[in-house]
Each structure stands twice: as structure tokens, then as C-alpha cells.
């Protein structure tokens, strides 16, 4: 067996031993400042990443670093309360390891979220954006020998974000009175925030929002044929005409994400209730 798969199966065996016989059907990734959705999960078991064999530890601001396994929207879910980022110095196989462990546990749907800068000039802080597509400016998570047990050497990425899940989100948001944007997410390595010229470039190539995560996880999930839904919380207006004294601040990003987290929590919970899995 590929050493990377041995790490996956070893980690998932540990998680299985902690959560009992009922495996999760929905995986959720909570981005910067969005961990409060995990507070809505009932009858939960918390598993810190540091306790899982072979697991990296999340060091990013606003990321707690635990799996939360329990019930949300009437479904058994496993949520990542904090993700692993490439900019933390981990190789991509560790960035996507938590996703592969969730898949090994048997999830049927992956829902990912992030805090992002809105390069679209019409976006405002606090907006929720459905990710309809992405532009990847990070190293591809599948570089290296293919793990044949997971998927093909050259996976299709025509529809990285599942159209049926996008329709479900739009329908659910309309019912709940939640306004949504829709756009293209640009994934950059970080950890520096982008320059005004880079923001302009991302907008010119078709990006509506930019961040430092998510796409590696989506690639790993789609490699294995797992349906994905993605959402960005716009935490700063990433334009190219700032005042001379303007500065991007990580704490402000987390605060803005926290302010919008209740809307995203409501939407994700209602969507999960409607999933037929």
C-alpha cells in the first residue's frame, strides 16, 4: 500500500475508535473565524488533531484544530474546526490528509468554507459567496505518484463544485431570506496578503474572491469523485485603490468572518437537513 494511504487508514482507524459504530455522512471544513458552526453540532465527540496518528497540527489564526463528530441537521457529520494550510509549511499530502480521512470514514458529501477577500468590486464585507468555480495558483495536491485507490491520474475538473448542491443552496437561502453571491475563488499560497496589483490581476483573470486554502481539499475530494459544495465569507474588500494608510489585518478578517458565521451556520444546517444521503 502507498505510504500516504497507510497514513490515511491509520488515522481513520483511530477516529473510528473514538466515535463508535455510526460513521458520518457529511464532511464540513470550517475556515478562519467560522468555527462557531461546530457549536451547533449535538452529541459530539471532539478529537484534537494532535491526538491522531500521523496528523499535522493547525497553527493558523482562527483555527482550533479538531475534528468535531456529531449530529447536525439530523445527519451524522464530521467537521474540521480548523484546516491545514500549505503556507504553514506542510506538504500538500498533509494539507489534504484530513479530507482523505473523512472520505475513508465514508462521507458522501463535502462542504467547505473559507474567509476570502472580495476582488469583485460589488462585494461587501459579510457577503456569502457560493463558489461556482476556482482558479488554482497553488501547487496541485495530486502532484506525485497517483494513489490509484482514490482516483484516476488525470481527474476531470469540469464541475468541481456540484451543480445540484449549488441549486440546493440557492433554494434554501431563498427560503431563509439569506442573500447570496456567486463567483470564482482564486487560491493563492499566502501567507502574505496580496498586493493591490495582485488583487487587480485576480479580478482581471476572472476571480471574484481570493484566499489561501480550500482548493487543495476540493481537488482531493473530486479526485475520489466526492460531491463538493463551497462557500466563501467575504471578510475584506480586496480592491486596488486603497488609502495610503490602509492595512490588511488578520484579526479583522477573523472578526468579520465571525460576524457572518451565523448566516452560514443557518444555511449549512438547513442544507444538510435536506440532503438525501
| Mean pLDDT of each 10-residue bin along the chain, 277 residues long | 93 96 95 81 95 85 81 97 93 97 98 94 93 98 96 97 98 97 97 92 97 97 98 84 64 70 92 95
The C-alpha atoms of residue 140 and residue 144 are separated, in whole angstroms, by 9
What pLDDT is stored for residue 168 in this prediction? Answer: 98
Residue 231: strand pairing partners: 113, 130
Q: Say if residues 121 and 71 touch (Cβ distance below 8 Å).
A: no
What pLDDT is stored for residue 37 in this prediction? Answer: 87
DSSP secondary structure code for residue 115 in this structure? E
DSSP assignments along 185-224, one per residue: EEE---SSPPPHHHHHHHHHTT-SEEESSSHHHHHHHHHT
With a CB cutoff of 8 Å and minimum separation 6, the contacts of 155 are 142, 219, 222, 223
Handedness of CA 93, 99, 103, 104 (dihedral sign): positive
With a CB cutoff of 8 Å and minimum separation 6, the contacts of 195 are none
> What's the pTM?
0.93
What pLDDT is stored for residue 98 in this prediction? Answer: 97
The C-alpha atoms of residue 67 and residue 64 are separated, in whole angstroms, by 9
What pLDDT is stored for residue 246 in this prediction? Answer: 63
What pLDDT is stored for residue 259 in this prediction? Answer: 72
Amino acid at each position: 500500500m502507498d505510504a500516504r494511504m497507510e497514513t490515511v487508514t491509520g488515522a481513520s482507524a483511530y477516529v473510528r475508535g473514538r466515535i463508535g459504530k455510526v460513521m458520518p455522512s457529511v464532511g464540513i471544513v470550517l475556515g478562519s473565524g467560522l468555527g462557531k458552526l461546530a457549536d451547533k453540532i449535538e452529541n459530539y465527540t471532539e478529537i484534537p488533531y494532535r491526538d491522531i496518528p500521523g496528523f499535522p497540527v493547525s497553527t493558523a489564526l482562527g483555527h482550533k484544530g479538531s475534528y468535531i463528530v456529531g449530529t447536525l441537521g439530523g445527519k451524522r457529520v464530521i467537521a474540521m474546526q480548523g484546516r491545514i494550510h500549505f503556507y504553514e509549511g506542510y506538504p500538500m499530502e498533509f494539507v489534504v490528509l484530513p479530507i482523505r480521512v473523512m472520505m475513508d470514514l465514508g462521507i458522501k458529501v463535502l462542504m467547505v468554507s473559507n474567509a476570502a477577500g472580495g476582488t469583485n468590486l460589488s462585494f461587501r464585507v459579510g457577503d456569502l459567496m457560493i463558489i461556482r468555480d476556482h482558479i488554482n495558483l497553488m501547487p496541485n495536491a495530486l502532484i506525485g505518484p497517483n494513489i490509484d485507490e482514490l482516483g484516476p491520474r488525470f481527474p476531470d475538473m469540469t464541475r468541481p463544485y456540484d451543480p445540484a448542491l449549488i441549486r440546493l443552496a440557492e433554494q434554501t437561502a431563498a427560503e431563509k431570506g439569506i442573500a447570496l453571491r456567486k463567483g470564482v475563488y482564486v487560491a493563492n499560497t499566502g501567507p502574505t496578503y496580496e498586493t493591490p496589483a495582485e488583487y487587480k490581476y485576480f479580478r482581471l483573470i476572472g476571480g471574484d474572491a481570493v484566499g489561501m486554502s480550500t482548493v487543495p481539499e476540493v481537488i482531493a475530494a473530486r479526485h475520489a469523485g466526492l460531491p463538493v459544495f463551497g462557500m466563501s465569507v467575504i471578510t475584506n474588500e480586496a480592491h486596488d485603490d486603497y488609502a495610503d494608510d490602509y492595512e490588511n489585518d488578520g484579526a479583522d478578517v477573523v472578526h468579520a468572518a465571525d460576524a457572518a458565521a451565523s448566516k452560514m451556520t443557518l444555511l449549512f444546517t438547513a442544507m444538510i437537513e435536506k440532503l438525501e444521503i
